[in-house]
């Protein structure tokens, strides 16, 4: 799990740098950066969503996942947790920063293939490359969204670490189609985050998170030979 540990630590230190920079920005610059960040996140989401090989899987995953999330009230729970941190860290957007960065860092082929590769062969090259990308993203995100980005390192550690530990059991069930549909579904969620960052619509992206678990399940059963 060396690769995942380095990935998580990189996010922590990069987030601290971003928070340090962000505290010294005035509201006008902060707003401009938020809008620019929203556009970049939108492009990332679109690029990921276009990886789908079957749009019906993505649609079903998002709809079913959102329904589950609404019933469980994930967004409300995240906001309650965020409110507690906001009372401790002034001007914090904990829940938004946590959800946005967690999605960006945990959804995608590198977050799946990297831990599996390390678990099976000990090769951390993919996760090292991912750490560099996540570090740059953490600086940009935390400068505008605050300390919630730092705490996404915990989600990354648990998510990728679990995949590494379970890699020998997961690997036979993970094919490129599953990775593509999971990535595409995650792309839709990231686009929802972008819409929120751009203040176009306050979408409850947290309640869409179960879609990330639904997508690989649907894909696996549909691709069974």
pLDDT confidence of residue 7: 96
Residue range 82-103: mean pLDDT, rounded: 73
pLDDT confidence of residue 154: 94
Residue range 91-113: mean pLDDT, rounded: 79
3 state SS of 217: helix
What would the pLDDT profile of 49-71 be if each residue is shown by its tens digit?
A: 998 999 999 999 999 999 999 99
Question: Which among 99, 105, 131, 107 is positioned nearest to 118, based on CA atoms?
Answer: 131
pLDDT confidence of residue 41: 80
pLDDT confidence of residue 225: 55
pLDDT confidence of residue 141: 87
What would the pLDDT profile of 144-167 be if each residue is shown by its tens digit?
A: 888 889 999 999 999 999 989 988
Residue range 102-116: mean pLDDT, rounded: 81
Of the candidate ranges 24-33, 47-56, 85-94, the one whose mean pLDDT is the lowest: 85-94
Residue range 27-48: mean pLDDT, rounded: 81
- 92 vs 22 pLDDT, higher one: 22
Of the candidate ranges 73-87, 100-114, 115-129, the one whose mean pLDDT is the lowest: 73-87
Rg, the chain, Cα only: 17
Q: What is the mean pLDDT of the chain?
A: 85
pLDDT confidence of residue 5: 94
Question: Which among 194, 192, 172 is positioned nearest to 65, based on CA atoms?
Answer: 192
**Is the Cβ–Cβ distance between 179 and 52 less than 8 Å?**
no
Torsion 32-36-42-44 (CA) sign: negative
């Amino acid at each position: 799990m060396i690769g995942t540990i380095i990935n998580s630590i990189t996010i922590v230190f990069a987030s601290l740098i971003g928070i340090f920079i962000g505290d010294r920005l005035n509201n006008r610059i902060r707003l401009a950066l938020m809008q620019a960040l929203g556009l970049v996140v939108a492009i990332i989401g679109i690029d990921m969503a276009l990886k789908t090989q079957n749009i019906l899987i993505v649609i079903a995953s998002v709809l079913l996942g959102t329904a589950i999330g609404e019933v469980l009230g994930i967004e409300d729970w995240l906001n309650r947790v965020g409110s507690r941190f906001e009372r401790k860290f002034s001007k914090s957007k904990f829940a938004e920063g946590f959800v946005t960065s967690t999605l960006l860092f945990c959804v995608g082929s590198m977050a799946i293939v990297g831990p599996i590769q390390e678990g099976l062969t000990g090769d951390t090259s993919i996760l090292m490359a991912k750490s560099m990308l996540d570090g740059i993203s953490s600086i940009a995100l935390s400068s505008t969204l605050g300390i919630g980005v730092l705490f996404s390192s915990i989600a990354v550690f648990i998510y990728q670490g679990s995949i590494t530990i379970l890699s020998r059991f997961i690997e036979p069930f993970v094919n490129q189609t599953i990775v593509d549909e999971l990535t595409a579904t995650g792309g839709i969620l990231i686009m929802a985050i972008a819409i929120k960052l751009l203040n176009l619509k306050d979408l409850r992206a947290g309640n869409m998170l179960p879609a990330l678990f639904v997508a690989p399940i649907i894909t696996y059963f549909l691709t069974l030979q």
